[in-house]
Structure formats: structure tokens, C-alpha cells
Amino acid sequence: MMRRRLGWTAVAALALALPWIMYPVLATDIVTWGLFAAAFDILLGYTGLLSFGHAAYFGGGAYAAALLAQRAGVAFPVNALAAGALAALMAVPLMGLAIRRRGIYFAMITLAFAEMIFYVTNEWRSLTGGENGVQGVPRHVLGGLNITSAVVYYYAALLLALLGLLVCWRIVRSPFGRVLLAIRENEVRTAMLGYPVNRYKLIAAVLSCAISGFAGGLWVMNHGFVALDAVHWSTSGLVLTMVLLGGIGTRLGPLAGAALVLYLRDFLSTWTDAWGIVTGLIFIGVILVFRRGIVGTLEPLVVRGSRAAPHAGRPATATIREAPEGGTGPVS
Amino acid sequence: METLLIEVFNGLINGAFYALLSLGLAVIFGMLRVVNFMHGALYMLGAFGAFLLGTTLGVSFWWALLISPLAVAAVGYGLERTLLRRLYDLDVLYNLLLTFGLTLLIQDAMRLRFGVQGVPYPAPPELRGAVAIGFMFFPTYRLFVLVFSIAVCLGTWWLIERTRVGMIIRAATEHPMLTRALGVDVDRWIPSVFAFGVALAGLAGVLAAPMRAVSPLMGADLIITTFAIVVIGGMGSILGSVVTGFVVGALAALAAVYYPAAENLLVFVIMAVVLLLRPAGLFGMAETG
């Protein structure tokens, strides 16, 4: 217990010190992407659904928040919340269709729908500015304040992202979250027990997308502009990299992954633009030899004897189902 | 009416690429249970293979059409032996993720070497110009792509449905344990089947080289559209994936006549409708993954 409290104190201290030890805009990116990654992990880590299309909700939320601020003068936290609501509205039909298929098909369908959103964003120039994106987004704050300081914005975003994270953690630790874990472990058995599996999956997906949209809103206000790359499939790939590297199905994994990936990208950008190669190598390395990720590997070592993580009958952190029943793998 | 016919023709040519790619995906998925995200990147390597063979060694289009897919097959064979096979005991999603990582790596390496602009690759002299079909003229090269890809699709279908090798592959796809029990060394066939599937992607890349700019990202968006087509057709049937590819290509081109923005979107709309009405896909069988 002592160790755990010490750990959380260190994390909190790091979060408060972050804009003083690095470029504050990067610090804010880490916090907002961390929230995005945590929301994404509700589906991947706790429901066993690999969405390859979360860029649509993060990017869609970013566009919504930017346009609301720029065209309607909606003040800061409100536009980010509205972005979350819009992402939820998008998720109801799209995720509703995607959950009709499982596993690999779910991944392909979410990817395809995100590509559709990408094309729509690109074509709808009058609204989204096409390839130019939305630029010069004003950062009005509720109460008529106008924050220009990047450090002040960091603390505002940190507070809101923390609220979002608490919601994510509450979701996965609630009775509802336990049912999601049951679905991840054995969907058929969960259905046999009388749980409306598809409704649970849809609610989990909509919550995940809503928080992703909210994170997108926080992120866009950090930069004041948004362009097509926010809804591109590479954004979906980037959040996936963060969660895999940090540790699927862990509380701090998505944050650690976001911090490491974004810091690395920033650091490398000064001397190489081979970012795709670096991400690719991280990806391949994690998939082949480091499937538990950083937090998934460290947590059992640091917090020995703490209360069990909610994965009965398996090591402290689960990855995607490791070897499910019924023939997967090639002809095995 | 004439423009409409020409558009359908052009659409069928887009469809030919969808068909070749989804055919390769279906063959690989059947045997390995792997959705190969690299397929688009290997299609791109096929096109660059033709370009590099032509510029450095002066190899003609026709030889490139043979050599480049073989080279892509060799790359696929090597990756299967060294990387993909390590993950067969885990959830199938891991291999999707692995091939996604490889895609990022391959595309970015090619971007660093060749830039994003792309390089030109001329059509072979024999196929330049246009031919008259009935009342309209049609570029010879495009006609060739259409005929050739239909032939490749039929050939693959014949190989899988009518030959002894195909019989083993089909048996291993449906009942791997039983096939093993009958004395077939199933594992021996896995890398070859993977190599064959990616060779189809390489072939599509060579065919695309004279028509589309040869660029590092040429396969990136194409693979996503192909995934949508795979969802529409269902991966259960070889012929199904081919037919779906051609039909969706033609429909998208027709839609573009009336509403240009629809060309890219129609595939996804069709996918949504299919998911609503027939979630397993038009030719799909029971849920496989």
C-alpha cells in the first residue's frame, strides 16, 4: 500500500512539473493524447475490441471544437464537451454497425468507416477547409477570459483530462466494466449468462468515442489549428502504438505510452524525419517481444501484494486474449 | 450513354485492382487466418520493383511483370518465416498489428528513399495508344489490365478449386486437424501460400505502375478500400471476393458520374448497408473471426 501511494504521488508530482521540464505545448499534447489513449483502451484492453478507426472520433472532436470556437464563439471547456457529444453521436451508427462483426472484421470495419470520415472531411471544404484545415482557432474561456499562456492552458487541460481519466477508470472498474471484461474473455459465455452483449459493446464503444472526442477538443485548443492528419488512419495507428507500448488494459499504460511516444517524436524530429520507421520498429518490437507493455511489465514488480487487478485467473495485466479457444492462429 | 459506358469500363479497371488485392487477402486469410495489412505496401513494392528493374537494369515491362511479383513473394516468404509465424499461437489480431507495423516501416523507408511525389513508369510500347471497341475508343493498356487481371483471377480460382495443390489448401482451410491426420504436412504449405497471396499484390502493383504514379503511399488508401470490399464480399469465397471487387469498382465509377465526391464514399456506404442487411458479407459464411 505504501509503495502504491508513493507511486501515485510521484505521478502527480510529475504531472504538475511537466510544463517546466519540457516545452509546455508538448506537455499538453502528452496529457490530451494520454486521455485519448485511455479512452481507446476501454475498448482494446477492457472489452477486447481493436478499433482501427479512433482517429475519426478524436479528429472529429478536434474539428468540432475548433469550428464551434471559431464560428460560434463557444467558450473553451464547453466546446470540448460538445466535441465529445458529437463524437458520441457519430459513434452510435458507425460503432453500432461495426459491432455486428467481431475480431479482425471489427478492426477492418472501424478502419473503413474512419477512412470514410477522412474523405468527408477532405471533401466538405466549406466547413472543414479541406487540405488547409481550420486555422486561427481563438481560445476563449468561460467567463470571458482569454488564456494565451501555454503553461496556464496546460494546467486547465490537465484538470479536464484528469476528470476524463477518472471517468475512464470508473467505467472499467464498475460492474459495467466487469461485464466488459467477461465479454473480452468469453463473449459467448457472457451472452449465455443473459447479458445483452451487443448493447454492452455499443455502450462501451460510444463512451470510448465520446471521451476520445473530448480529448480531441482539448488537444485542438492547445494548437489553435487542426488539419486532415487528425482524422487520418495514421492517428489511429499512433494511439494504438501508445497503448501497446504503455501496456494494454493498465491504468497508467496509456499515459506512459503517450508520454514516451510524443517525447520521442519531438526529440527525434530535430535530427530525422524517419518517424514512420521509428513507429514501425516500436510497433514490431512490442508485438513480438513486449506484449505487456511498459506498465504491464513494471506494475507486478512495483506493487507486489497489492489488490489483484480485475483479471481473475491470469497475470496482473492481460493483453488481448492470448490464446482463445477455437481455431485461431493458422491451421494449428 | 457513351460516357457512362466508358466510366463503367474505368470503374471495372479500379475493380480489377480491388479484385486482385482482395483475392490475395482471401487466399492468405483462408490458410493463415492472418489479415495482411502489408498488402498495400507490398503492392507498392511491386510497382517500385518494376520501376527499379526498368531504370537500373533496363528490364522490360513484360519481364518485370514476372520478376517483380516473384521478388515480392520472396519478401513475403521471408517475413512469414521470420516474423509472422511467431504469432500464430496468439490471437489473430496480433498478426494484423505486426503487419501494420511492417507497413509503417516499409512505407516510410520508401518515402525516405524516393520522396512522396512518386516516379513515372511508362506503359510498354506495344500497349500504347487506344483501340476501338464497337463505338468507342479505349486506351490499350487499360484494356490489357482488365483482361489480364480477369485471367489471373480465373487462373487462381482454377488453381484452388481444380488442382491437387488447391485441394490441400482448401482442406487445410476448412479442417486443419483432419487434413494433418490424413498425412498432409500442412505447415509446409503456409509460407508458400502467403508468398502466393502477396505475389498477387505485387502483380497488381506492376499493373498499376504505368497507370498510377508509382509512389510510396500508393497502397496506403487502397488497402483500406480493399478491406471494405473484403467486408462486403466476406472472406469465405475466392470467387466472391473477385466479383465484389469488380462490381464495387464499376458502381463507384457510375456514382461518380452523378456526384463526383461519391466515388470514394460509395464503397463505405455499400459496406454499411451490407452490415445492416447481411453482416456476414454477400458471399460470407459463418463468423470466422
Render pLDDT for B50-83 as a digit per residue (tens, 0 to 9): 999 999 999 999 999 999 999 999 999 999 999 9
Contacts with A105 from chain B: Cβ below 8 Å: 231, 289
Question: For the ranges A285-294, B9-18, B231-240, which has the lowest average pLDDT?
Answer: B231-240
**Above 50 in pLDDT, residue B3?**
yes
Residues 6 or more apart in contact with residue A96 via CB below 8 angstroms = A202
Contacts with A291 from chain B: Cβ below 8 Å: 90, 94
C-alpha cell, B275: 452490415
Q: Which amino acid is at A218?
A: L
CA distance A176 to chain B (A): 24
**Above 70 in pLDDT, residue A78?**
yes
CA nearest to B169 within chain A: A331
CA distance A57 to chain B (A): 17
pLDDT on residue A257: 95
The pTM for the full model equals: 0.90
Q: Do B220 and A233 touch (CB under 8 A)?
A: yes
**Tally of structural domains, chain B:** 1
β-pair type (B136-139, B130-133): antiparallel
**Above 50 in pLDDT, residue A318?**
no
- Evaluate whether residue B194 is within a structural domain: yes
* 3-class SS string, chain B: CHHHHHHHHHHHHHHHHHHHHHHHHHHHHHHHCCCCCCHHHHHHHHHHHHHHHHHHHCCCHHHHHHHHHHHHHHHHHHHHHHCHHHHCCCCHHHHHHHHHHHHHHHHHHHHHHHCCCCECCCCCHHHCCEEEECCEEEEHHHHHHHHHHHHHHHHHHHHHHHCHHHHHHHHHHHCHHHHHHCCCCHHHHHHHHHHHHHHHHHHHHHHHCCCCCECCCCCHHHHHHHHHHHHHHCCCCHHHHHHHHHHHHHHHHHHHHHCCCHHHHHHHHHHHHHHHHCCCCCCCCCCCC
pLDDT on residue A327: 36
> In Å, what is the CA distance from B283 to each residue of B21, B234, B280?
17, 5, 8
**Above 70 in pLDDT, residue B285?**
no
CA nearest to B102 within chain A: A280
CA nearest to B173 within chain A: A331
Task: Give residue-wise pLDDT tens across range A189-209.
Answer: 999 999 999 999 999 999 999
* DSSP structural state of residue A231: G
> In Å, what is the CA distance from A238 to each residue of A95, A244, B171?
20, 10, 39
Task: Give residue-wise pLDDT tens across range A10-54.
Answer: 999 999 999 999 999 999 999 999 999 999 999 999 999 999 999
What average pLDDT is seen over chain A?
88
Average pLDDT over residues B211-238: 87
- Evaluate whether residue B172 is within a structural domain: yes
Residues 6 or more apart in contact with residue B237 via CB below 8 angstroms = B26, B283, B284, B285
pLDDT on residue B188: 84
C-alpha cell, A256: 506512459
Residues pairing with B130 in the sheet: B139
What average pLDDT is seen over chain B?
89
pLDDT band for position A320 (cuts 50, 70, 90)? low
> In Å, what is the CA distance from B171 to each residue of B33, B259, B289?
14, 45, 19
Contacts with B88 from chain A: Cβ below 8 Å: 329-330, 332
pLDDT on residue A308: 43
Is the separation of the CB atoms in B73 and B43 below 8 Å? no
CA distance A195 to A179: 8
Helix (H, G, I), strand (E, B) or coil at A20: helix
pLDDT band for position B186 (cuts 50, 70, 90)? confident
CA nearest to A291 within chain B: B94
Q: Do B231 and A108 touch (CB under 8 A)?
A: yes
CA distance A315 to chain B (A): 16
Contacts with A327 from chain B: Cβ below 8 Å: 33, 176
Q: Do B91 and A277 touch (CB under 8 A)?
A: no
Task: Give residue-wise pLDDT tens across range A224-241.
Answer: 999 999 999 999 999 999
CA distance A264 to A16: 20
CA distance A167 to B75: 46
- Evaluate whether residue B257 is within a structural domain: no
Residues pairing with B214 in the sheet: B119
Range of the domain at B35: 23-220
Q: Which of B104, B172, B225 sits opposite A331 (nearest CB)?
A: B172
Helix (H, G, I), strand (E, B) or coil at A23: coil
Q: Do B227 and A108 touch (CB under 8 A)?
A: yes
CA distance B49 to chain A (A): 20
Contacts with B186 from chain A: Cβ below 8 Å: 331
> In Å, what is the CA distance from A179 to each residue of A186, A191, A203, A312?
10, 10, 12, 13
**Above 70 in pLDDT, residue B24?**
yes
Q: Do A97 and B272 touch (CB under 8 A)?
A: yes
CB-defined contacts A:B, below 8 A: 164
CB atoms within 10 A of CB A300: 15
- Cα B189 vs. chain centroid, distance in angstroms? 20
Angle at A93 between CA B268 and CA A165, to 5 degrees: 115
CA nearest to B101 within chain A: A280
Is the separation of the CB atoms in A246 and A292 below 8 Å? no
Give this complex's ipTM: 0.90
Q: Which of B91, B227, B287 sits opposite A324 (nearest CB)?
A: B91
Burial (CB count <10 Å: 0-12, 13-18, 19+), residue B11: buried
Q: Which of B100, B267, B279 sits opposite A101 (nearest CB)?
A: B279
Q: Do B271 and A287 touch (CB under 8 A)?
A: no
Domain boundaries, chain A: 21-302
Q: Do A119 and B104 touch (CB under 8 A)?
A: no
Question: For the ranges A268-282, B39-53, B144-158, which has the lowest average pLDDT?
Answer: A268-282
pLDDT on residue B289: 41
Q: Do B89 and A329 touch (CB under 8 A)?
A: yes
Contact A120/B at CB under 8 A:
yes
pLDDT on residue A331: 39
CA nearest to B103 within chain A: A280
* Contact residues, A window 46-105, toward B, CB-based 8 Å cutoff: 50, 97-98, 100-105
**Above 50 in pLDDT, residue A332?**
no
Question: For the ranges A168-182, A227-241, A247-261, B119-133, which has the lowest average pLDDT?
Answer: B119-133
Share of chain B above pLDDT 90, in %: 49
- Evaluate whether residue B141 is within a structural domain: yes
pLDDT band for position A330 (cuts 50, 70, 90)? very low
Contacts with A109 from chain B: Cβ below 8 Å: 228, 231, 271, 275
Q: What is the DSSP string of A145-174?
A: EE---HHHHHHHHHHHHHHHHHHHHHHHHS
Q: Do B101 and A281 touch (CB under 8 A)?
A: yes
Task: Give residue-wise pLDDT tens across range A105-138.
Answer: 899 999 999 999 999 999 999 999 888 899 988 8
pLDDT on residue A254: 95
Contacts with B92 from chain A: Cβ below 8 Å: 103-104, 328-329
The answer as to CATH 1.10.3470 being correct for domain A21-302 is yes
Q: Which of B32, B103, B271 sits opposite A112 (nearest CB)?
A: B271
Angle at A3 between CA A177 and CA A322, to 5 degrees: 40
CA distance B77 to B99: 13
Average pLDDT over residues A240-254: 93
Q: Do A276 and B104 touch (CB under 8 A)?
A: yes
**Above 60 in pLDDT, residue B250?**
yes
pLDDT band for position A316 (cuts 50, 70, 90)? very low
Is the separation of the CB atoms in A66 and A134 below 8 Å? yes
